[in-house]
Chains A and B, each alone.
Chain A
Amino acid sequence: MGLKTLLTTHIAAGDSHTLKHYQSVGGYESLKKAISEMTAEQIVNDVKNSGLRGRGGAGFPTGNKWGFIPKTDKPKYLICNGDEGEPGTFKDRMLIERFPHMLIEGMIIAAKAIDSHQGYIYIRGEFHKGIRIVETAVEEAYKAGLLGKNILGLGYDFDLAVYSGAGAYICGEESALINSLEGRRGHPRLKPPFPAVSGLYACPTVVNNVETFCNVPHIIRMTGEEYKKIGTEKSPGTRLFAVSGHVKKPGIYEVEMGTPMKELIYDICGGIKNDKSLKAVIPGGSSSPILTAEEAMTATMDYESIASLKSMLGSGAVIILSEETDLVETTYRLAEFYSHESCGQCTPCREGTHWVKDLLHKIKVGEGTEKDVELIFSLSRNMEGGTTICPLADACVMAVRPTMTKFKEEFSLRLKKEVSVSH
């Protein structure tokens, strides 16, 4: 366990984003294999055998997702979700800027697997540089005959376009992303029907994360059976962990699944900034419930271990909080994020996220009471578990309630005005 590279092996190369470099290190060989030697069913089965789970947040098995696409005459669409916006998460931007051809290759292979002939790469709008790099890579791929009609003369057609988001976190939710791509407000849709049955333009659609697609060429190259030997049995492969907060060496690290969190924080990231002690870890993006330092030291970086601690591996964003962290302030900032990003469709989310944020602000500035704490807990019960179309309200609850429970004392001190407050 520990550092192991599949996706980021060639990150040191200054021109890793170019077609020339990508092909010089074996890029697009998996595409040739997939198109000329494998049937769609074989590709799906290989990805199923690899055990690859989606790297966007939910961790759903990728091969199964592809297998849900019905065999109809309707067009099938393939979408890359590059709308990275969860606080703490910053891995996909690196993949987009450094390895756009790995992403494109993964998408073409996935397209053949589901019989799609049109794909879109949806990238968050703020990533201007990444959008330009991917657009250039797509142009390069077209010129080299890797996209368009009759790819490499092997008889498969696939077109790919880049689409820029316009500043809405909710568009990372796949049905909201589909609405956005259709030129609508990014409102999540009621499910069912799921996108596999009725997605973009009411046609069967697969939406996968950037990192998920980037794994695909490696699976095809080494076979699913071999890929599955990396990582743990139920969480195979490597994972890009985006580490931020109070560590000496924040950054993006590709490690084998199952690596102890302690190793990630202390050996790989150099330990806690200013040699302070660890207070807590948010293990999988801002919506994953916080872990105490004690819990974090027992965890390994895989889906099962983090789930056993009642949290989530989510988007692979690890936020480290030292003993100096003001948890009331950080909890308020997260609630502020979710209230800002609520799309407004569902009342429990639209009203609840704002209410929770306002109550936390009251507590943060030293004007809160025990009743406000009780009210937050009461409100949160009405914001979770299927009361809304999408899980944004649940995410707000998960970012707030476990912190208020596990670090109750810190909130109590603020209520008693025994600590300094900021406005």
Chain B
Amino acid sequence: MAYQFSQESEKRFQRLIPQFPSKRSLILPCLFLLQADKGFVDTEGMQYIADRIGEPVSLAQVHGVATFYTMYNKKPVGKFHIQVCANISCYLAGSDSITEHVCSKLGIGKGETTKDKKYTVDEVQCLGACGFGPVAQINDKYYENLTPESIEKILSELEKEG
């Protein structure tokens, strides 16, 4: 069956409509709804968004927006998306050792996903939590003041979560 917003996303979409005088402003939030439903943004979903918003928004415009911003996954990511900050303050606090530890524990390199599709590891630019480095974002949650020991514990907890 062709993609359409989940019930929850449809509710959010309806709440979004009156907030903007221009329909085009709906593109970014709609891409987040698509990603919440599917885990990533694909052409089918982007076409659906263009159709739901309607004229003058086209698939090309939705695609142009999706490819500009880093938070839209253009391909599937693991159930747990581990993003370790590598910029200055986190680097000074030892983020390299956190990334290495996570990669070696999961047996994958940066930007890769484990074979069981459970984990994806990425190194990212500043997460805006510089006083609490090293910092990693796992899905929606920030983990701060990481050490190799604490990230090891976090990974064990994720493993238990399934």
Which of A's residues lie within 8 Å of B, judged by CB?
A: 75, 84-90, 93, 118, 124-129, 159, 161, 163-169, 180-186, 201, 242-246, 250-252, 282, 286, 317, 319, 321, 325, 329-330, 333-334, 336-337, 340-341, 343
A182-B24, A183-B24 are known contacts. Are A85 and B128 too (CB-CB below 8 A)? yes
Q: How many Å lie between the Cα of A286 and that of B68 in the bound state?
A: 23
Nearest first, the 4 A-B pairs at minimum CB distance are A166-B69, A167-B71, A167-B70, A183-B24
Instruction: Assess the B24–A184 pair: CB atoms within 8 A.
Output: yes
List, in ascending order, chain A residues with CB within 8 A of B142's CB.
129
Q: How many Å lie between the Cα of A87 and that of B64 in the bound state?
A: 26
Query: 0/1 per residue, B51-78, Cβ < 8 Å to A?
Result: 0000001000100110011111000000
Which stretch from B2-10, B88-96, B104-112 is at the chain A interface? B88-96
A126-B71, A164-B32 are known contacts. Are A184 and B88 too (CB-CB below 8 A)? no
Interchain Cβ contacts under 8 Å between A and B, 22 examples? A85-B126, A88-B89, A93-B128, A125-B71, A126-B128, A126-B137, A127-B128, A128-B140, A129-B141, A129-B142, A163-B28, A167-B69, A167-B71, A183-B24, A185-B68, A186-B68, A245-B93, A251-B131, A329-B91, A333-B86, A334-B87, A334-B88
List, in ascending order, chain A residues with CB within 8 A of B28's CB.
163-164, 166, 180, 183
Please classify how large the interface on chain B is, using the bins under 10, 10 to 19, 20 to 34, 35 or more: 35 or more
Q: How many Å lie between the Cα of A204 and that of B31 in the bound state?
A: 28
CB distance from A120 to the nearest CB of B (A): 8
List, in ascending order, chain A residues with CB within 8 A of B25's CB.
163, 181-183
CB distance from B72 to the nearest CB of A (A): 6
Instruction: Assess the B130–A89 pair: CB atoms within 8 A.
Output: yes
Closest to A321 in B: B92
Q: How many Å lie between the Cα of A340 and that of B68 in the bound state?
A: 12
Closest to A160 in B: B19
Q: How many Å lie between the Cα of A246 and that of B27 in the bound state?
A: 41
CB distance from A334 to the nearest CB of B (A): 6
CB distance from A272 to the nearest CB of B (A): 12
List, in ascending order, chain B residues with CB within 8 A of A330's CB.
88, 91-92
List, in ascending order, chain A residues with CB within 8 A of B69's CB.
125, 165-168, 186
Q: How many Å lie between the Cα of A169 and that of B128 in the bound state?
A: 11
Instruction: Assess the B130–A244 pair: CB atoms within 8 A.
Output: yes
Q: How many Å lie between the Cα of A93 and that of B131 in the bound state?
A: 12
A167-B71, A183-B27, A185-B68 are known contacts. Are A89 and B128 too (CB-CB below 8 A)? yes
**B151 interface residue per 8 A CB criterion:** no
Instruction: Assess the B131–A250 pair: CB atoms within 8 A.
Output: yes
Q: How many Å lie between the Cα of A89 and that of B127 in the bound state?
A: 9
List, in ascending order, chain A residues with CB within 8 A of B91's CB.
329-330, 333
Q: How many Å lie between the Cα of A127 and that of B137 in the bound state?
A: 10
A129, A201, A246, A337: which contacts B126 (Cβ < 8 A)? Answer: A337
